[in-house]
Chain A
């Protein structure tokens, strides 16, 4: 069994808000859902499968299903943090391939800005029943110092530099200048990144993603329904998912679960990293991108610093255009979860609907990859490969 060719992405929508003081969380989910349905040319009554993750208010999918008035025969609330929505594309394709649903809706939304959340620098406690909490929470693990330890170790083992990491932000900023909804539209230089304030050694402020409210949605359908709609056809070729953790104390911070999710997706899709015309790579921090590029096979382990340097990720000049919407680093990181927007920009590229200044010519093969949880402790990785038909 394979999902290759069994499902298509028929609709996507990125909510334009970046600060949603006047909207509820459920409302943001619903507006995103309606946007993606309109993009596909479908209505809510066509939806028979619904996918959401931990950002959904209420008990699993139930409160939002109630709010939106959905009638379903399939639902899935698999929660792997920011990678959930990339993983959901694979799960939706599986459900469609098995005949369990034919129009799957995936939603994400959050309002960390409106709620004044210290996203990156405050320790988060997932509750004392999580077995790791007593052994970690007292030591002040935050999002940023966990990823910082990955960067620190990568620098130690491979000689990666802050300047090399900075190139990732520089590339994202080059793309964000064309996105009118992006939070940070100014093009920045390597010097500006490495001279920005140190947040947690060796990560500077400009190594970190934005904190934004917002949301998004994806519609995955059967081939028959996709072909009946008046939209460019984006076919799901392959998907892979994998967890990575501390391995009982055999901690290795130099790689991510992309080492496993990537090959699974490439194998199912029957393509190789070098075939990709475009890649959406999860970018909570610059180091996140660098490690995942290595783990997905775009370059050798330890060579990520060289690979991202000198504008190699910038559309039009670089070998691997990435995150052409500006990504989480400059555009949007709704709900502190960037996986869904990764899929959206990949679909825009495959449809030829990215901004003309960043559209990759003849973009017929693209990858979207997400990480959820923390590279510094335990996380879920999910990879999806899509093709324009």
Chain B
């Protein structure tokens, strides 16, 4: 199992992303959605990276997806699993896989959202995933 000592740095919100991080405090993972082309994107931002429209909004993800790729950094203390997870809504996002056996991760493995607290008191949690 992953070592509970792993400490996540607190993300710094800016005017572009404060709604994303305030939703994270409510355990909601938001993704960008374009009202012009209909495409989803990640990370969320003030314009659609697909069509260029600024008519974008945040929509809540189901928090379900599968591992696109992963790697366990054996040299870290403690070792941890970084991954790209492809959400069922489409976008692929960088994250960590937690609460897992670091030696049994597989591409294609189903995972689900579990927010992890970060080091600063009252800091926003970050969206991590655990095996489904």
**Inside 8 A of A247's CB, which chain B residues have their CB?**
49
Contact A138 B73 (CB under 8 A): no
Q: Which of B24-56 contact A (CB under 8 A)?
A: 31-32, 39-43, 45, 48-50
Given A138-B126, A139-B94, A141-B94, decide whether A149 and B82 contact each other with a Cβ distance below 8 A: yes
Contact A152 B8 (CB under 8 A): no
Q: Which of B17, B50, B82, B107 has the most CB of A within 10 A?
A: B82
**Inside 8 A of B91's CB, which chain A residues have their CB?**
248-250
A353 near B: Cβ within 8 Å?
no
How many A-B pairs fall under 8 Å by CB? 116
Contact B12 A140 (CB under 8 A): no
Q: Which residue of B lies closest to A150 (CB)?
A: B69
Q: Which residue of A lies closest to B118 (CB)?
A: A138
Number of interface residues of A (CB under 8 A): 39
Q: Which among A203, A248, A377 is the interface contact of B49 at CB below 8 angstroms?
A: A248
A300 near B: Cβ within 8 Å?
no
Given A140-B73, A153-B68, decide whether A129 and B93 contact each other with a Cβ distance below 8 A: no
A134 near B: Cβ within 8 Å?
yes
Q: Which residue of B lies closest to A132 (CB)?
A: B43
**Inside 8 A of B68's CB, which chain A residues have their CB?**
153, 251, 253
Which of A75-83, A193-201, A225-233 is the interface stretch?
Answer: A193-201
Q: Which among A137, A149, A248, A251 is the interface contact of B11 at CB below 8 angstroms?
A: A137
A131 near B: Cβ within 8 Å?
yes
Interface string of A109-142 (1 = CB under 8 A from B): 0000000000001000000110111111111111
Q: Which of A135-163 contact B (CB under 8 A)?
A: 135-142, 144-146, 148-150, 152-153, 156
Distance A121 CA – B83 CA, assembled complex (angstroms): 16
Q: Which residue of B lies closest to A121 (CB)?
A: B75
**Inside 8 A of A200's CB, which chain B residues have their CB?**
71-75
Distance A248 CA – B126 CA, assembled complex (angstroms): 19
**Inside 8 A of B48's CB, which chain A residues have their CB?**
248
Contact B93 A249 (CB under 8 A): yes
Q: Which among B12, B39, B82 is the interface contact of A141 at CB below 8 angstroms?
A: B82
Distance A201 CA – B67 CA, assembled complex (angstroms): 15
**Inside 8 A of B10's CB, which chain A residues have their CB?**
138
Distance A199 CA – B71 CA, assembled complex (angstroms): 10
**Inside 8 A of A248's CB, which chain B residues have their CB?**
32, 39, 41-42, 48-50, 91
Q: Which of B56-99 contact A (CB under 8 A)?
A: 68-76, 80, 82-84, 86, 90-96
Contact B16 A131 (CB under 8 A): yes
Q: Which of A300-322 contact B (CB under 8 A)?
A: none
Contact B74 A140 (CB under 8 A): no
Q: Which residue of A lies closest to B72 (CB)?
A: A201
Q: Which residue of A lies closest to B102 (CB)?
A: A201
**Inside 8 A of B121's CB, which chain A residues have their CB?**
none
Q: Which of A135, A136, A377 has the most CB of B within 10 A?
A: A135
Distance A368 CA – B43 CA, assembled complex (angstroms): 33
Distance A121 CA – B73 CA, assembled complex (angstroms): 8
Q: Which among A133, A137, A144, A149 is the interface contact of B69 at CB below 8 angstroms?
A: A149
Q: Which residue of B lies closest to A245 (CB)?
A: B49
Q: Which among B9, B42, B95 is the interface contact of A249 at CB below 8 angstroms?
A: B42
Q: How far is the CB of B47 from chain A (nearest CB, A)?
A: 10
Q: How far is the CB of B32 from chain A (nearest CB, A)?
A: 8
Q: Which residue of A lies closest to B34 (CB)?
A: A248
**Inside 8 A of B107's CB, which chain A residues have their CB?**
152-153, 156
Which 7 pairs, one residue from A and one from B, show the smallest C-beta to C-beta distance? A249-B91, A248-B49, A148-B71, A248-B41, A134-B11, A249-B42, A251-B92
Q: CB within 8 Å of B: which residues of A?
A: 121, 128-129, 131-142, 144-146, 148-150, 152-153, 156, 197-203, 246-251, 253, 377
Known: A139-B96, A250-B92. 7 other contacts (CB 8 A): A138-B118, A140-B82, A140-B96, A152-B69, A156-B107, A249-B31, A253-B69
Q: CB within 8 Å of A: which residues of B?
A: 8-14, 16-17, 21, 31-32, 39-43, 45, 48-50, 68-76, 80, 82-84, 86, 90-96, 107, 118, 126, 128
Query: Could you give 5 example pairs across A and B, Cβ below 8 Å?
Result: A121-B75, A138-B11, A149-B82, A153-B107, A249-B91
